[in-house]
Chain A
């Protein structure tokens, strides 16, 4: 009987991203710190790619001279630091760009292995960047991208064997409505105290070659009730702040609840979110 499979054996997670959003772009602070950041991560994330901001003006007549198409900043305004797999694709990646500092894990294994690395990367990177006093953190971000493969004729696929028939995270119209459907939603839910988190849940089916795949993209954005302006506030919870470590744990738990409310038990067992009942 055809069934949905986690795309990578016991793992369904394609990527986990952890990020900090700042009040303003980091651009001008990157250039003086980039050598120190490169050196800090030379062993773990050896591949370095600088980024530059380029301003593109689109107009129906040349209102600005051609020189305006040149980079708007002469220095490095962002970077990617990555560790590559043997095939040249990234296994993990640290990026500073615009007003975001993000870490992407493309070989996710488990939260208790990923979170410490994520928090450690953020702390070490920010200690070199030295921006918090003038450009505080305003939001914490956690995104999971899961993928399931239909192991059968795509035309016979439906939400059967994938989603709970009574799931409150998708509209009833997509349940058992054939192979092709999508569901895009967003809602606010309490995360810590009365402070709510924006959840974005985008589920899309599609053909990858002749294989039907389902991508589940859950994004949690916790807009901080107070801006974090020091490493101590962010990582040690000083001054009555909640540490980023604790916030990420809550966001992770919220993602787990979404998946439990979405997927059938067989898949939750397959990806290790629940245990199989003893026979």
Chain B
């Protein structure tokens, strides 16, 4: 049983480079030599989606600690905290990664832009977010003042889907 389980364990990766079976050598081949067979694995490592986005928030917080332009505002702490809570509520393994920027009016802005779809979503630090999304052919979605605790609505996730 251990043999079959081991075979399974090797095989049940999405990206197995090779399956290698070892069998006893016939007596005519018996020798004292040891063969070392190295098979390099094309390992796919998914990015640390959540941490990458939280790192981006921290970077923006550092870069825009003070207003960059006359008359502009920097996002308040609550806007960053809302953005963080939103990130941690997203199914980041099945949607595309957003680009995160800050706007001169104090908004923490998320943008998804892929193919013919585009989503613009923002936080001002009042515990809510607003978004607008569109796709070629006239498909549009929009909603204002969605509580952060409610998370992203399914139709928004569908538009941001990675497939």
Q: Which residues of A pack against B, CB within 8 Å?
A: 5-11, 13-15, 17, 19, 21, 58-60, 63, 83-87, 89-91, 93, 97-100, 102, 104, 106-109, 138-139, 141, 143, 147, 149, 151, 198, 200, 208, 211, 213, 219, 221, 223, 270
- Which A residues are in CB contact (< 8 Å) with B162? 85-87, 91, 107
- Contact residue among A98, A151, A211 (Cβ-Cβ distance under 8 Å from B7): A98
What mask results when residues 45 to 56 of chain B are scored 1 for a CB within 8 Å of chain A, else 0? Answer: 110111100100
Known A60-B31, A85-B162: A9·B8 in contact at CB below 8 Å: no
18 A–B contacts, CB within 8 A, in A order: A6-B50, A7-B49, A9-B50, A15-B14, A21-B8, A60-B33, A63-B29, A85-B162, A86-B115, A91-B163, A100-B7, A106-B14, A143-B12, A151-B51, A200-B5, A200-B9, A213-B48, A221-B5
B14 touches A97 (CB 8 A): no
Task: Tell me, yes or no, whether B60 is within 8 Å of chain A by CB.
Answer: no
Give bound CA distance, A227 to B99, whole Å.
52
Stretch at the interface among B72-80, B82-90, B121-129: B82-90
CB pair B9–A8 under 8 Å, yes or no, is no
- Minimum distance in angstroms from A120 CB to a CB of chain B: 18
Give the residues in chain A near B94, CB-CB below 8 Å.
11, 91, 107, 109
Residues of B within 8 A of A (CB): 1, 4-5, 7-9, 11-12, 14, 16, 19, 28-29, 31, 33, 35, 37, 44-46, 48-51, 54, 87-94, 96, 114-115, 162-163
List chain A residues, Cβ under 8 A from B16: 97
Asked if residues B48 and A7 are in contact (CB atoms below 8 Å), the reply is yes
- The answer to whether A149 touches B50, judged by C-beta atoms less than 8 angstroms apart, is yes
The complex places the Cα of A89 from the Cα of B5 at a distance, in Å, of: 27
Is chain B's binding surface mostly helix, strand, loop or mixed? loop
Q: How far is the CB of A44 from chain B (nearest CB, A)?
A: 11
9 closest A-B pairs by CB: A8-B93, A107-B94, A8-B92, A9-B92, A9-B90, A85-B162, A149-B48, A104-B14, A149-B51
Enumerate chain A residues within 8 angstroms of B96, measured Cβ to Cβ.
86
Given contacts A102-B12, A143-B12, 17 further A-B contacts (CB under 8 A): A5-B54, A5-B88, A7-B92, A8-B50, A9-B91, A10-B91, A14-B46, A21-B8, A63-B28, A83-B163, A86-B162, A86-B163, A98-B19, A100-B12, A139-B4, A147-B46, A219-B12
Question: A108 contacts which chain B residues (CB < 8 A)?
Answer: 93
* C-alpha gap A239/B37 in the complex (Å): 46
The docked-state distance in angstroms from the alpha carbon of A183 to that of B8 is: 20
Q: How far is the CB of A118 from chain B (nearest CB, A)?
A: 13
Q: Give Cα A109–Cα B91 distance, bound, in whole angstroms.
A: 8
Residues of B within 8 A of A5 (CB): 48, 50-51, 54, 88
Distance in angstroms between the alpha carbons of A110 and B14 in the assembled complex: 19
Q: Kindly list chain B residues whose C-beta atoms are within 8 Å of the C-beta of A8.
A: 46, 49-50, 91-93
Q: Nearest Cβ in chain B — how far from A210, in angstroms? A: 10
Nearest B residue (CB) for A85 = B162
